[in-house]
Amino acid sequence: MIDVEEQKTIRWVLRISRGEALVPFVKDFLNLLNQEGFLLEDLLDALSKVTLSQRAIPSSVAQHLEDAVTELRTEVKS
C-alpha cells in the first residue's frame, strides 16, 4: 500500500504534468510487477476488468484491453 507521504508526492507530481508524471511511475510499477512475476498482460487484464465496472468508460475500451491481452499471450506462445 502507498503511504500518505508517497500519495502526497504522487499527487504533486501529477499536477505538474500528467503525461510526464505517469511515464516514470508506470515504468517503476511495471518493474515492480515484473520482479513479482507479473507480466504486462496481467496488468492489462486487470485494467480491462476494472474498466468494465466503470460506467464512465466505454465498454469498447475494456474490449481493446482484452484484445491486447489475447495478442500478447498469443505472441508469447509463438
To the question of pTM greater than 0.85 for the whole model, the response is no
How would residue 78 be classed by pLDDT, with cut points 50, 70 and 90? low
User: Does the pLDDT value for residue 14 go beyond 80?
Assistant: no
Position 71, amino acid? E
pLDDT tens string 44-65 = 999 999 888 888 888 898 899 9
Residue 47 burial class via C-beta count within 10 angstroms: exposed 0-12, middle 13-18, buried 19 and up: middle
The three-point CA angle 54-72-56 to 5° equals 10
pLDDT for the residue 38: 96
Q: What is the mean pLDDT of the chain?
A: 87
